[in-house]
Amino acid sequence: MMLSNSFNKSAIGAGLPTAQSQPVYRVPSRTGLRVRATVADETAATQQQQEEERGREIRRSLNKTGRYVRTVKNDPDATKALDADGVGYSLTGLVAQMREEGNFWKQGDVTVKLAKAYGYCWGVERAVRMAYEARRAFPGRSIHVTNEIIHNPEVNRRLREMDVNIVKEDPQKGKDYSKIDNGDVVIFPAFGVGAPDMKYFRDKGVNIVDTTCPWVAKVWNSVDTYAKKKCTSIIHGKYSHEETVATASFAEDYLIIKDLNEAQYVCDYILKGGDREEFMKKFSKAVSKGFDPDVHLNRVGLANQTTMLKGETQAIGKMLERTMMEKFGPQNLQDHFMVMDTICDATQERQDALYEITDDPTIDMMLVVGGFNSSNTSHLQEIPHNKGLPAFWVDTADRIDMANNSIAHKLHYGELKVTENWLPEGPITIGVTSGASTPDRAVEEVLERVFRMKDPNFKGIQPRECAPPVLPTH
């Protein structure tokens, strides 16, 4: 598919239909193929619901509008703004200096070891950069993001300060897009959006800035391939996560499983059969419309939410492979099971780096920095927890109470916990990592608060120019 290389301003408002006068909502739908509208004209609403296209057709049609862009302009002024706001890569601060010191830093009694892979991934930095570039490319225009651009509170706060509207979702009604008018700019976040939203904004006549991570799009390609080959997509992910909702909308038949236990349940059902009613109740929110486990589990292909644990996705793949070989015979495996490599490099690298650093016997505790609604960060916290190493997951430095030596931190299964006297007296070695949606500034602020707690006379890290980080080219 050919991609637009620049923001097309000439199409704004040129012969476009007028905005609807009634609220328009994207109602969560497990089919992923309908946009539901609240309009005065019920007939028009019915027609809109019936105008369905396959997800892949909607996706491919966006570029034909002349109002669609998904490339970075590398605007130098945007780079300066990212650095000034602390939402890009560190170029002069502590993290930048640690990169030049072998990911190592010693400040008084505190020794810090930074994981080899940490923080912003290429796709996330790209999304934030494109949002900043969009604000510069469309001065005075109303700009909206269909969800948080990434799962980081500081980044989303900065966008709001730039007068970028982040659309919130009502648990009952879905998302209200009624304030988005023809000629406005709509940004798709790094996780992507589902086919219904793509279709809605394509037809509405807005300018679209698509920051979807190419690795997410790679997963979409896999479920598209499975659909063409009449395979059910088994998606390893969380059914309510934005990325998985989007992925499901590009599949035909699908089943979403969150972990090894659910995978084992599905494999047992494939081999032995079972209570169909119980199966459908268990996965009621995680299957495609019309799903029948007695029909749709005979040919399957594995896909994944890119932020899930690499090892778990691979284990699920092996379970499904063994199950299909046992049921249909090794000679027939290729007719009943498919798997494509859709594990995100960034997720894999951060997990591998954390396994490595937690094997270091000198590490006393881990600090994990990242948004509390970040799936990939939750898995980073899970790794040291499972190894029995004290690990504290915080989203911002504000979680550390310096006066009382307490820390409010989140556990990987969701509980927010306050730990008293978390920072011991005397020398300590701290391992540090951060989620793929976490800018370097967040890590720097957390560490500087730790340094200040250990040494009240700490005056901060003096900035100095450092070499930029080495970035991937894909």
The count of other CB atoms within 10 Å of the CB of residue 408 is: 16
Q: Which two tokens stand for residue 417?
A: 């916990």
Dist. CA 234–CA 430, nearest whole Å: 39
What 3 state SS string does 59-95 have? HHHHHHHCCEECCCCCCHHHHHHHHHHCCCCCCCCHH
Contact 396, 408 (CB under 8 A): no
Contact 349, 376 (CB under 8 A): no
Dist. CA 237–CA 177, nearest whole Å: 27
Phi, psi of 334 (to 5 degrees): -65, -15
**330-365: burial string, b at 16+ Cβ within 10 Å, e else:** eeeeeebbbbbebbbebbbbbbbbbeebbeeeebeb
3-class DSSP state for residue 233?
Answer: strand
Q: Which two tokens stand for residue 163?
A: 């007068």
Tokens 């310096």 found at: 402
The count of other CB atoms within 10 Å of the CB of residue 84 is: 10
Rg (CA), the chain: 24
**Distances, alpha carbon 241 to alpha carbons 24, 63, 297, 308, 394, in Å:** 22, 26, 23, 11, 20
- Alpha helices, H only, 86-148: 94-100, 122-137
Contact 266, 297 (CB under 8 A): yes
What does DSSP assign to residue 304?
Answer: E
Contact 72, 130 (CB under 8 A): yes
Which one from 148, 154, 243, 382 is the annotated catalytic residue? 243
The count of other CB atoms within 10 Å of the CB of residue 219 is: 28
Dist. CA 311–CA 352, nearest whole Å: 10
Dist. CA 148–CA 436, nearest whole Å: 14
Choose among 350, 355, 313: nearest CA to 435: 350
Is 101 an active-site residue?
no
What does DSSP assign to residue 50?
Answer: H
- Active-site residues, by number, are 243
